[in-house]
Chain A
Amino acid sequence: MITFDGVRKVFPDGTVAVDNLDLELPTGKITVFVGPSGCGKTTSLRMINRMIEPTSGRILIDGDDVTSQDDALLRRRIGYVIQHAGLFPHRTIAENIATVPHLNGVNKKKARAVALELMDRVGLDESMADRYPVQLSGGQQQRVGVARALAADPPVMLMDEPFSAVDPIVREVLQAEFLRIQGELGKTIALVTHDIDEAIKIGDMVAVFRQGGHLAQFATPQELLERPANDFVADFVGRDRGFRSLSFDTAAALEVDDLFSVATGGEVLVLDGAGHPHGWTGPGLGSTSNPTPLGGTFVTGDSLRLVTDLAISSPVGIAVRVDETGRADGVLRHDSLVRQLNARRRRRAEAESTS
Chain B
Amino acid sequence: MSTTQETPYLFDPANWEFGAAGSIPSFIVTHLYYTGLALAIAILIAVPVGLYIGHTGRLAFVAINAGNAGRALPTLGLVSLLVTMFGLGLIPALIALVILAIPPILTSTYAGLRAVDRAAVDAAKGMGMRELGILLRVEIPMALPLIISGLRSAALQVVATATVAAYVGLGGLGRLLVDGLALNQYDRVVAGAVVVAVLAIVIDLVAEGIQRLVVSPGISGRALTRPSKSFPTVSPTQPRAGTASAG
A contacts, CB < 8 Å to B? 49, 51, 72-76, 80, 82-92, 99-100, 103, 123-125, 127-128, 131-135, 137, 139-140, 143, 145, 148-149, 158, 169-170, 172-173, 176-177, 295-299, 302, 305-306, 309-310, 313, 322, 326
Could you list which residues of chain B lie within 8 angstroms of chain A, going by C-beta atoms? 117, 119-130, 133, 138, 141-142, 144, 215-219, 221, 223-224, 228-229, 231-234, 236-237, 241-247
User: Roughly how many angstroms separate A295 CA and B246 CA in the complex, as a whole number?
Assistant: 9
Question: A128-B231, A173-B236, A313-B246 known; 6 other A-B pairs, CB under 8 Å?
Answer: A75-B126, A76-B127, A82-B119, A82-B122, A90-B215, A310-B245
The answer for the CA separation of A99 and B133 in the assembled complex, in Å, is: 11
How far, in Å, is A310 (CB) from chain B's closest CB? 6
> A313: which B residues are within 8 A, CB to CB?
245-246
In the complex the two chains form, is A322's CB within 8 Å of B242's CB?
Answer: yes
Ordered by A's residue number, 16 sampled pairs between the chains whose C-beta atoms are within 8 Å are: A49-B126, A51-B125, A51-B126, A73-B128, A80-B126, A84-B119, A85-B119, A89-B218, A103-B133, A135-B228, A169-B236, A173-B237, A297-B242, A297-B244, A309-B247, A310-B246
Whether A100 pairs with B234 at a CB distance below 8 angstroms is no
* Chain B: CB-nearest residue to A173: B236
Q: A82-B122, A139-B234 are in contact. Are A103 and B216 (CB under 8 A)?
A: no
Contact across chains for B237 and A297 when beta carbons are under 8 A apart: no
CA distance A89 to B121 in the complex (A): 11
Tell me which residues across on chain A come within 8 A of B237, comparing CB atoms. Answer: 173, 176-177
Q: Is the interface of B mostly helix, strand, loop or mixed?
A: loop
Closest to B143 in A: A90
Question: Closest CB-CB distance, A126 to chain B, in whole Å?
Answer: 11
User: Residue of B at shortest CB range from A49?
Assistant: B126
Set of chain A residues within 8 Å of B216, measured between Cβ atoms:
89-91, 132
Q: Which of B123, B128, B218, B241 is the one whose CB lies under 8 Å from A86? A: B123
Alpha-carbon separation in the docked complex, A182 to B7 (Å): 82
Closest 10 CB pairs of A and B: A132-B218, A86-B123, A309-B246, A90-B216, A76-B128, A296-B244, A86-B119, A80-B126, A75-B128, A132-B223
* Contact between A173 and B119, CB atoms less than 8 A apart: no
Contact B129 A103 (CB under 8 A): yes
Cβ of B144 to closest chain A Cβ, rounded Å: 8
Beta-carbon nearest neighbor of B133 in chain A: A103
Rounded to whole Å, the gap between the CB of B74 and the closest CB of chain A is 39
CB distance from B222 to the nearest CB of A (A): 9
Query: In the complex, are the beta carbons of B127 and A306 less than 8 A apart?
Result: no
**A134 adjacent to B218 (CB under 8 Å):** yes
Pair A88/B234 contact, Cβ less than 8 Å = no
Complexed CA–CA distance, A103 and B125 (Å): 12
Also in contact, A296 and B246, with CB within 8 A (given A90-B218, A133-B218): yes
Residues in chain B near residue A74, CB distance under 8 A: 128
Q: Which one of A49, A74, A86, A145 has the highest number of Cβ atoms from chain B below 10 Å of its Cβ?
A: A86
Which residues does chain A contribute within 8 Å of B221, judged by CB atoms? 134
Does B123 contact A82, Cβ atoms closer than 8 Å? yes
In the docked arrangement, what's the CA distance between A306 and B247, Å?
6
Chain A residue with Cβ nearest B123:
A86
Q: Closest residue to B223 on the A side, CB-wise? A: A132
Q: How far is B231's CA from A82's CA once the two chains are assembled, in angstroms?
A: 26
Q: Is the CB of A134 within 8 A of B224?
A: yes
A91 contacts B246, C-beta separation under 8 Å = no
Task: Tell me, in angstroms, the Cα distance from A177 to B237 when the chains sit together.
Answer: 9
Q: Please report the C-alpha to C-alpha distance between residue A128 and residue B223 in the assembled complex, in whole angstroms.
A: 12
Contacts of B119 in A (CB 8 A): 82-86
Tell me whether A99 and B127 are in contact in the complex, defined as CB-CB below 8 angstroms, given that A89-B120, A296-B246, A326-B242 are known contacts.
yes
Residue of A nearest to B142 (CB): A90
Q: Chain B nearest CB: distance from A146 CB in Å? A: 12
- In-complex Cβ contact of B117 among A89, A132, A172, A305 (8 A): A89
Cα A127 to Cα B219 with chains together (Å): 20
A-side contacts of B117, CB under 8 Å: 86, 89
Query: Cβ of A148: which chain B residues have Cβ within 8 Å of it?
Result: 123, 127
Q: Is the CB of A92 within 8 A of B246?
A: no
Known contacts A80-B123, A89-B142, A89-B216; is-contact A296 B243 (Cβ 8 Å): yes
- A101 → chain B closest CB, angstroms: 11
